[in-house]
A = this chain, B = another copy of it.
Amino acid sequence: MYTIGQVAEMFGLPASTLRYYDKQGLFPGLERTSGIRQFGDTELEALRVIECLKKAGMEIKDIRLFMEWCAEGPSTYPQRKAMFEERKAHMESEIANMNRALDMLRFKCWYYEQAIQDGSEDRLEALIPDNLPEEIKGAYENAHAR
């Protein structure tokens, strides 16, 4: 069993954030002795899952729902699975989107590199979009695909 301060240290989070998560219902079974929170293995695992789900773009209220399902037992396996499947699909499309934005950035980096060498953008503008060098053509097309 750990105190809030120890857990804060372990996860590199301020204690206030852990209190906030608790208040939002993210630790449904969290116990206390004389008012003081006792974090056990269940809560540490919950925190690991919370970190993942936050990276996956999930809101606190949905994470709470998941934690409640966990506390309810095997009858909620299907809901939990469905939630993860939905998140997985959402994230895959998010990553695809970000890769497109990244291609735009790659193109812009190349573009300014050329502009710096040339001293202006004029020569460059004549190259776009039909006379781009091979090295950057893919990124350009990917970034501008609708």
Interface residues of A (CB under 8 A from B): 52-53, 55-56, 74, 77-78, 80-81, 84-85, 87-88, 91-92, 94-95, 97-102, 104-106, 108-109, 112-113, 115-116, 119-121, 143
- Chain B's closest residue to A120 (CB) is B74
A112 lies within 8 A of B52 (CB): no
Known: A55-B98, A56-B98, A95-B98. 10 other contacts (CB 8 A): A52-B105, A55-B97, A77-B116, A78-B116, A80-B112, A88-B106, A92-B102, A95-B99, A95-B102, A98-B98
CA distance A105 to B91 in the complex (A): 10
CA distance A54 to B67 in the complex (A): 31
CA distance A77 to B120 in the complex (A): 9
CA distance A33 to B61 in the complex (A): 47
Given contacts A84-B109, A88-B106, A108-B84, contact A52 B116 (CB under 8 A): no
| 22 A-B interface contacts by CB (under 8 A) | A52-B105, A52-B143, A55-B97, A56-B98, A56-B102, A77-B112, A77-B115, A78-B116, A80-B112, A81-B109, A81-B113, A81-B116, A84-B105, A88-B102, A88-B105, A88-B106, A91-B98, A91-B102, A91-B105, A95-B95, A95-B102, A98-B98
